[in-house]
Amino acid sequence: MSGTASSTPLPSNGAIPPGMGYMGVGYVQDAKDFKADTRRFSPDVKPDANPLANSVGVDVSSWQGGINWSAVRGAGIEFAWMKATEGTTYKDPTFGTNYRGAHNAGVIRGAYHFARPDASGGAAQANHFVGNGGAWSRDNMTLPGVLDIEGSCYGKTRAAMRSWILDFADTYRARTGRDVAVYTSASWWDLCTGGWAGLSARSPLWVAHWTSAGGPRIPSGFPFWTVWQYTATGSVRGISGYVDRDRISGGRSRLLALANNTA
C-alpha cells in the first residue's frame, strides 16, 4: 500500500481502523461541508518558487514504505515530521528508521501522534507519545511534537473535545518543556471545538488545506498558520508514490526558530 495512503478514501461511515491513521486521512471528511473549499487533487502543487522562499518539507508514516533520506534532502527537503504513535498502544513500525535516517541526512525532523479521543484520555495519549518518540530537545534538528487531530468529532461535545485537547497539550508541555503543535483543518477545528482559541497563544498551527491558492484556510481561534500541508499528492525523489508536501511560514531562520523554540 506504499505511496497510496493520502489518496485512499475513508470508509463511507468515516471510521478509521485502529493503527491506520495518518496525516490527512480525515481531511476529505473534515472539509465536506465547506462548499467554498478550494482543494485540487492535481499532483504536487509547487510552492517552492514562492517569493517568500518558504522552507519545504514532507510528512510520512509507514504508508510510504522505505525512504532514501539522502535523496530526499538532495531534492531540497529541509524538514519532515513522521508518525510515531496512535492512541495509547500503537507505535509506527517505520518511525525509528525514519527518525534516524532523516537526522543522518541533515533533515530537521519531528514526530507526530494520531489522536484517538474516543479511545482514552488526552493525558494518557500524550504520555504514550512522549515515551515513544515524541520528546524534544533544542539541538537544531528536532521539531516540536505534533497532535494530529482530524476526522470525526469522536462523539464528543465541543466542551469535551476542548478538554481532551487541553489535557494532551498540558501533559506534553509538562513532559517536554514546550508546547505541542496542532495539525488540523479549518473545518474540523471549527466544527468539533467551535473555533476554540484556547491554544492560539501556545501551539503552532499546522493547517491542512490542499489547494493551489496562495494561502490556506485557517481555523477560527488561530491568528495565523506556522506550517501548511498544501497537497497530499506530492512527489519527492527518494520516496515512492505520493507524499504529503508542507511548507513553513518563512525561510530557514523560521524553521530553526520553530525547532529551537526561539520564536
Question: What DSSP line would sit under 218-235, residue for residue?
Answer: --TT-S--SEEEEEEEE-
Q: What is the pLDDT of residues 119-131, one digit of tens each?
A: 999 999 999 999 9
86, 92, 150, 179: the catalytic one is: 150
pTM of the complete model beyond 0.85: yes
Given a cut of 50, whether residue 3 has pLDDT beyond it is: no
Q: What is the pLDDT of residues 84-117, one digit of tens each?
A: 999 999 999 999 999 999 999 999 999 999 999 9
Q: Is 244 a catalytic residue?
A: no
Pair 48, 75: CB distance under 8 Å: no
Rounded Cα gap, residues 247 and 209, in angstroms:
12
Q: Is 59 a catalytic residue?
A: yes
Mean pLDDT of 219-245: 96
Given a cut of 70, whether residue 12 has pLDDT beyond it is: no
Q: Is 86 a catalytic residue?
A: no
30, 148, 190, 246: the catalytic one is: 148
Closest CA to 60 of 102, 105, 12, 19: 102
Q: What are phi and psi of 239, to 5 degrees?
A: -125, 125
30, 59, 179, 190: the catalytic one is: 59
